[in-house]
Structure 1
Amino acid sequence: MNKDLQLSIIDISLFLVYVAALIAIAYWVSRERDGHDKDSKDYFLAGNSLPWWAVGASLIAANISAEQIIGMSGSGYAIGLAIASYEWMAAITLIVVGKYFLPIYFKRQIYTMPQFLEERYDARVKTTLAIFWLGVYVFVNLTSVLWLGALAVNTATGIDMLYGMIFLGAFSVAYSLYGGLKAVALTDIIQVVVLILGGVILSYICLDLIGAGRGVFSGVMTLMDQAPGKFNMILERDHPHYVSLPGISVLVGGMWVMNLSYWGFNQYIIQRTLAAKSLEEGQRGITFAAYLKLLMPIIVVLPGIAAVLLAPELDRPDQAYPTMMQLMPEGVKGLVFAALVAAIVSSLGSMTNSIATIFTIDLYSSVKPGATEKHYVRVGRWVSLGALVAAMICAKPLLGNFDQAFQYIQEFTGFFTPGIVALFLLGMFWKRATANAALVAAVGSAVLSLAFKLLFPELPFIDRVGVVFIGCLILPILVVIWEQAGEHRNSVDLADIKFTTSRSYNAHCVSVSLILAAFYVTWW
């Protein structure tokens, strides 16, 4: 199989039209009425004007990027359908976030996660976590998206990795730097449509090839018959990849902690819901995103599993998705390639905007208060650009030697997420939680994770996350008892929060849960 995708003139033309159209639409939706300049609320939170469909689409577009498409397809190739637990469990997590976390954020008019920590605890907690998140977003998230995105472009077209990263970064800057979150969120509906359409077409053609032209159903049956081990959702202890997805723990253990951290307390994800027109509109967007998450394994995992039969001799699992793109007919290749690039640049735009938001609102404005709104927006744009350049420089040294980058990202973030989830949950739902207790949870998470990693290296990282999370709940409680602290002066008044949700939201919750249960029963 040739390394290069050999895009035709039709494919290239289709892709270039998509690029030009997206940039033009981004500038059109970002325009301001006469006499009005963008202020920080417009740039970082889209002026709290996003409708539910933009919220839901933007959540998925921010989430589904190179690390999901390339990384999860690679894990699908190596592990199988079990890796879809990250997608399917995220659907039910979104429902929880919409019902229990979003009402608190809206009631307290939260713009950023560090802002919540400062209002609930103190400036020390805010600054500590803000610096941590900036480091993770630049040196883990941005680098992974750029590196895996460039790998996809390289495998598909033969373009050098460096030039691929420069192209992806320049594209994301061209459509997102001027308009900020509004440009990103309102164009994300286009990105998601292209992503889903291209992904479904790719999966269809792969399955049809496996079924020898007899259709998708025949392809699925053939794939399940010839690669049965790839369709086990719950891995047994003797499975070679049990350490990555340790059996029942994906349903009741540390994966909940990972998902709650990502979907509930992660700035570049939750920022979309905070920009919604209202709480109800944000919750509608979350249910829309939950249904899309149930669909995602068809787009990101199935091509990787199909590659087990169609390209069994790959050098690296992360080459599975780009290699499957080579099977596409002329014209469709351009659409699938556009879908892949859409996922990459939408995540880059989302991440750089959130980096700029945290830096400008939570750190820079404290150092230089009282500056003009125009100044803060300008600083945000320069920070976005600087973050991209830094990620490009660091991408190869950090990720160049990993076969399954998605698993690496999950394990690295797993060192810190138990403490983050613990301090947020305690801050929201326990009135006695103090700033010192929150700092102990944050620091304790890294210390305990490292200790378990060194002392019990055979312990699966998802199980380690669950155990460390329990420790990160116990340690702050002991600190509060030692401090003899009463109710914190900044505690959340839960009696003043409306947790009741609409009938439609509750119906969607039941629907998502039943679909999820059906998936696990089918492929247990």
Structure 2
Amino acid sequence: MLTSLGIWDIAIIVFYFVIILWIAQWASRSKSESQGAVDYFLAGKNQGWLVVGASLFASNIGSEIILGVSGAGARANMPMANFEIIAALVLILLGWVFVPFYLRTGVYTMPEFLEKRYSKACRSYLSVISILAYVITKISLIIFAGALVFETIGVPFWTGAIITVIATGFYTVLGGLKAVIYTDMVQAVILLIGTIAVTWFGLHHLGGWNEMIQVISQASELPENPPVERFFNLWRPMLDTEYPWTGMLFGAPILGIWYWCTDQYIVQRTLSAKDVSNARKGALFAGYLKLLPVFIFFIPGVIAYALLQKGEISFSMENADQALPAMINGFLPMGLKGLAIAGLLAALMSSLSSAFNSSSTLLTIDFYQKYRPNASQKDLVRFGQLATIVLVIVSLGWIPFMKSLMGGGIFHYLQSVQAYISPPIAAVFLFGLLYKWINARGAIVALWTGFGIGIFRLVTEFLKNEGTIVVQNDSILGMFLGINFLHFALFLFIFCAVVLMLVSKMSQPQPDDVLEMVTFQRKSKRTGLKWSTDIILTIILIVLVLILWWIFSPWGMAG
């Protein structure tokens, strides 16, 4: 699928790259030499809520999210959009529950916090698993999606992948987290403008909302096409094989807690805030932004499906992740096409730069500094830059294996893999903050047990899809693999929580003085609720989520 770019399209894309590289250079020049690693990995710890919130949103919204969610729209898989809406609620947890502990302890990384709460063994576990997760669910997937974007403008897949890596890695290595979060802020604006423009122009070209509904309704008369109500319903029956409402309501938040509240990739942005108030407001701001993808990512996919039915654009429903590029390629006028591609590139580069920086932070702080405690600040920064290069090479090597697991599309792959590795981590963090009697032995046993079960599911599913092994559906293994991935996440979370509690009860508790900074302390004297801007913003955000859930339901206006 190739697209022809006009002079204004090329000018907009070039201008985008110039702005991003200029910001990266400015961030690099303004870096304080005395701060060293603090400035490089945590942007000097003096960022305001607007920068933190925009960076949280831009880091999360990569090309893989945009292409995956729009592809879900074309497939009539609206429950996928629930991951975006639920993220808004989980970001409330990040701001109110987790952030105060992270900033109070002054940690650089999440594994470092886990050591303060539990032990060095738990820190080592999370460091290794996080880096593994970045390779199989973040860096390689972002590169893969970025290569698809480059294919849209006629660049071969692997050439696009290499360009993606070099362009993004350059400014990430140059300026560290400060370059990442300030470019994120600009890229968030660009990707919002680009996707809003595509949505508006696509709907206008189609003839409006009512015309879209009519086209989809006519198409649904054919048995191979989904009914129109399936495009606008977030909730499916409990026995649905893909997105049951029980799995979405109780399983998806577990993935969210791991991703938004305990993952270095995301939390590092809040660690750069100047104080708890700015970190919390940044998380809430990102929560509001996370309500937008339903309208600017998912709905364009539905529009693309309607345009496909009218013969206005062309793409294969077997590869519906190409729905949005097909819209860009199909009819956008000169200038707007360049803006849309710049938006996709902005999403791509912001997510990839965040993954690079968080990966290098983990490798530097949790491994290199641990074994070389006397390393200079300059040595730490240099090692972080080198670590990024190594991770890029490994991630490129994972892409061929990743393709075999992506039968349900990019976004489905991302969420299903996270469902296999996130429950034990979410359980250890959440219960560790709430209960002082949860100890290091319980945590490490729960982590490794949950990891073993999750990886067994991932590997056997891969072998089954490849045809390496044959599994009967009525066998024990067949029933194990047949569990919906969201239900699997819920069951694994409960199992790990039980293991965590039982082992902790059977072993020696940790000293109270060690846990003072990393667990909730029960106060004997209760104070009344004090209204604040943060509380009001939180309540409004919850209400908006409930409204969206009602609108896109069988009983709501869209349903």
Q: Which category describes the TM-score, using the shorter chain as reference length?
A: over 0.9
Indicate conservation of the 8 Å contact 1:52/1:276, yes or no. Answer: yes
The alpha-carbon deviation at position 203 of structure 1 amounts to 0.8
Residue by residue over 1:264-299, the C-alpha shift from the partner in whole angstroms, topping out at 9 and shown as x without a partner, is 001010100011011001111111101100112222
Counterpart among 469, 472, 492 of residue 468 in structure 1: 492
1:376–1:344 CA distance, 2 compared to 1 (3 A): same
1:277–1:496 CA distance, 2 compared to 1 (3 A): farther
When structure 1 is superposed on structure 2, of 359-368 and 500-509 the one drifting more is: 500-509
Matched, 1:302 2:299: yes
- The residue number in structure 2 matching 1:141 is 138
1:447–1:488 CA distance, 2 compared to 1 (3 A): farther
- The residue number in structure 2 matching 1:311 is 308
Distance of 1:82 and 1:428 partners within structure 2? 31
- The residue number in structure 2 matching 1:207 is 203
Counterpart among 161, 167, 171 of residue 167 in structure 2: 171
Distance of 2:176 and 2:522 partners within structure 1? 33
- The residue number in structure 1 matching 2:399 is 395
- The residue number in structure 2 matching 1:63 is 60
Indicate conservation of the 8 Å contact 1:210/1:223, yes or no. Answer: no
Partner SS, residue 521 of structure 2:
helix
The alpha-carbon deviation at position 187 of structure 1 amounts to 1.5
- The residue number in structure 2 matching 1:8 is 6
Distance of 1:453 and 1:330 partners within structure 2? 54
Indicate conservation of the 8 Å contact 2:405/2:413, yes or no. Answer: no
The alpha-carbon deviation at position 515 of structure 1 amounts to 1.1
The alpha-carbon deviation at position 138 of structure 1 amounts to 2.0
Indicate conservation of the 8 Å contact 1:144/1:399, yes or no. Answer: no
- The residue number in structure 1 matching 2:463 is none
Partner SS, residue 178 of structure 1:
helix
TM-score by length of 1: 0.93
Matched, 1:511 2:511: no
Distance of 1:78 and 1:495 partners within structure 2? 48
Counterpart among 489, 493, 504 of residue 480 in structure 1: 504
Indicate conservation of the 8 Å contact 1:97/1:263, yes or no. Answer: yes
Q: Which amino acid aligns with 1:231?
A: F
When structure 1 is superposed on structure 2, of 436-445 and 343-352 the one drifting more is: 436-445
Matched, 1:339 2:343: yes
The alpha-carbon deviation at position 453 of structure 1 amounts to 6.8
Q: Which amino acid aligns with 1:160?
A: P
Indicate conservation of the 8 Å contact 1:224/1:231, yes or no. Answer: no
TM-score by length of 2: 0.87
Counterpart among 349, 355, 362 of residue 353 in structure 2: 349
Partner SS, residue 490 of structure 1:
helix
Indicate conservation of the 8 Å contact 2:435/2:520, yes or no. Answer: no
Matched, 1:44 2:41: yes
- The residue number in structure 1 matching 2:190 is 194
Partner SS, residue 433 of structure 1:
coil
Partner SS, residue 292 of structure 2:
helix
Counterpart among 49, 53, 59 of residue 50 in structure 2: 53
Distance of 1:268 and 1:369 partners within structure 2? 24
Distance of 1:355 and 1:103 partners within structure 2? 23
Identity of matched residues, %: 31
Indicate conservation of the 8 Å contact 1:114/1:362, yes or no. Answer: yes
Residue by residue over 1:318-360, the C-alpha shift from the partner in whole angstroms, topping out at 9 and shown as x without a partner, is 1112111112111100000000000001111000000000000
When structure 1 is superposed on structure 2, of 333-342 and 106-115 the one drifting more is: 106-115
Q: Which amino acid aligns with 1:236?
A: P
Matched, 1:456 2:453: no
1:336–1:219 CA distance, 2 compared to 1 (3 A): farther
When structure 1 is superposed on structure 2, of 106-115 and 266-275 the one drifting more is: 106-115
Distance of 2:530 and 2:21 partners within structure 1? 37
Indicate conservation of the 8 Å contact 1:234/1:248, yes or no. Answer: no
- The residue number in structure 2 matching 1:494 is 520
The alpha-carbon deviation at position 454 of structure 1 amounts to 4.9
The alpha-carbon deviation at position 391 of structure 1 amounts to 1.5
- The residue number in structure 2 matching 1:28 is 26
Distance of 2:370 and 2:531 partners within structure 1? 39
Counterpart among 248, 251, 259 of residue 250 in structure 1: 248
Matched, 1:426 2:422: no
Q: Which amino acid aligns with 2:110?
A: M
Indicate conservation of the 8 Å contact 2:35/2:44, yes or no. Answer: no
1:8–1:442 CA distance, 2 compared to 1 (3 A): same
Indicate conservation of the 8 Å contact 1:399/1:405, yes or no. Answer: no
Distance of 2:48 and 2:211 partners within structure 1? 39
Indicate conservation of the 8 Å contact 1:121/1:490, yes or no. Answer: no
Q: Which amino acid aligns with 2:170?
A: A
Distance of 2:510 and 2:374 partners within structure 1? 35
Q: Which runs of 5+ in 2 are unaligned?
A: 219-227, 310-314, 458-475, 554-559
The alpha-carbon deviation at position 129 of structure 1 amounts to 1.2
Q: How does 1:265-344 map to 2 (within 5 A)?
A: 265-312=262-309, 314=316, 315-326=318-329, 327-344=331-348
Residue correspondences, number: 512
Residue by residue over 1:367-401, the C-alpha shift from the partner in whole angstroms, topping out at 9 and shown as x without a partner, is 11111101100111111122123212322332266
Distance of 1:205 and 1:52 partners within structure 2? 32
The alpha-carbon deviation at position 430 of structure 1 amounts to 1.3
Partner SS, residue 5 of structure 2:
coil
Distance of 1:310 and 1:362 partners within structure 2? 50
Alignment RMSD (CA, Å): 2.2
Indicate conservation of the 8 Å contact 1:139/1:394, yes or no. Answer: yes
Q: Which runs of 5+ in 1 are unaligned?
A: none
Distance of 1:444 and 1:243 partners within structure 2? 26
- The residue number in structure 1 matching 2:383 is 379
Matched, 1:158 2:158: no
Indicate conservation of the 8 Å contact 1:147/1:165, yes or no. Answer: yes
- The residue number in structure 1 matching 2:101 is 104
The alpha-carbon deviation at position 248 of structure 1 amounts to 3.6
Distance of 1:131 and 1:484 partners within structure 2? 26
Distance of 1:296 and 1:309 partners within structure 2? 19
Matched, 1:126 2:123: yes
Residue by residue over 1:402-458, the C-alpha shift from the partner in whole angstroms, topping out at 9 and shown as x without a partner, is 241221121112112110011111221111122221111112213444479754333
Distance of 2:119 and 2:540 partners within structure 1? 40
- The residue number in structure 1 matching 2:235 is 234
Distance of 1:148 and 1:38 partners within structure 2? 35
Distance of 1:393 and 1:74 partners within structure 2? 25
1:406–1:501 CA distance, 2 compared to 1 (3 A): farther
